[in-house]
Amino acid sequence: MTAARKLINWLGLGLFALLGVAAVVPLFLIIGDIYIKGIDAINRLGGLWHFLTALPPTPFDEKGGIGPMLVGTLYMTALGALLGIAVGFPLGVYIGEMRREKFANVSRAAVNILVEFPTIVVGLFVYAVMSLAKQSLNQYLLDPLSKALSPVGGWITQFIGPLDGFNAYAGAAALAIIMIPYVALITASAYASIEQQLREAAYAIGGREFNALFVVLRKAVSRAVVTAALLGTAKIAGETAPLLFTAFGNTYYAPFTGPTAAVSLWIWYAAQTPYSVQIASAYGAAAVLLTIILIIFIVARIRG
How many other C-beta atoms are found inside a 10 Å radius of the C-beta of residue 11?
A: 10
Give the one residue of 202, 213, 225, 277 binding another protein; rule: CB under 8 A.
Answer: 213
Q: Which is nearer to another protein, 98 or 226 (CB)?
A: 98
Residue 181 interacts with another protein (CB under 8 A): yes or no:
yes
Residue 52 C-beta: closest distance to another protein, Å: 18
Q: What is the DSSP string of 38-54?
A: HHHHHHHTTHHHHHHHS
Give the one residue of 72, 77, 229, 235 binding another protein; rule: CB under 8 A.
Answer: 235
Contact between 79 and 172 under an 8 Å Cβ cutoff? The reply is: yes
Give the one residue of 201, 238, 275, 299 binding another protein; rule: CB under 8 A.
Answer: 238
Residue 200 interacts with another protein (CB under 8 A): yes or no:
no
Stretch that binds another protein, among 42-50, 59-67, 118-126, 143-151 (CB under 8 A): 118-126
Instruction: Return all residues near 223 (Cβ < 8 A) that are at least 6 apart.
Output: 303, 304
Residue 245 interacts with another protein (CB under 8 A): yes or no:
yes
Residue 257 interacts with another protein (CB under 8 A): yes or no:
no
DSSP β-bridge partners for residue 260: 248
Q: How many helices (H) and strands (E) does the chain have?
A: 13, 0
Give the one residue of 48, 120, 156, 299 binding another protein; rule: CB under 8 A.
Answer: 120
Evaluated on CA atoms 125, 122, 140, 167, the torsion sign reads negative
How many other C-beta atoms are found inside a 10 Å radius of the C-beta of residue 136?
A: 9
Compose the 160-179 pattern: x for residues touching another protein by CB under 8 A, - for all others.
-----------------x--
Give the one residue of 3, 62, 136, 153 binding another protein; rule: CB under 8 A.
Answer: 136
Residue 291 interacts with another protein (CB under 8 A): yes or no:
no
Residues of span 21-80 touching another protein by CB under 8 A? 21-24, 26-27, 29-30, 33-34
Give the one residue of 81, 111, 168, 247 binding another protein; rule: CB under 8 A.
Answer: 111
DSSP classification of residue 248: B
Residue 299 interacts with another protein (CB under 8 A): yes or no:
no
Stretch that binds another protein, among 46-54, 56-64, 131-139, 153-161 (CB under 8 A): 131-139
**How many residues of this chain bind another protein (CB under 8 A)?**
99
Entry field: residues in the chain = 304
Q: CA of 46: how far to CAs of 39, 49, 50, 178, in Å?
A: 11, 8, 6, 35
Give the one residue of 133, 148, 152, 295 binding another protein; rule: CB under 8 A.
Answer: 133
Residue 215 interacts with another protein (CB under 8 A): yes or no:
no
Residue 98 interacts with another protein (CB under 8 A): yes or no:
yes
Q: Residue 182 and residue 122: Cα distance in Å, rounded?
A: 14
Write the single-letter amino acid at 238.
Answer: G
Contact between 261 and 254 under an 8 Å Cβ cutoff? The reply is: yes
How many other C-beta atoms are found inside a 10 Å radius of the C-beta of residue 239?
A: 24
Q: Residue 172 and residue 160: Cα distance in Å, rounded?
A: 14
> Measured between alpha carbons, how far apart are the two ends of the chain, in Å?
43
Give the one residue of 66, 95, 175, 178 binding another protein; rule: CB under 8 A.
Answer: 95
Q: Which is nearer to another protein, 155 or 249 (CB)?
A: 249
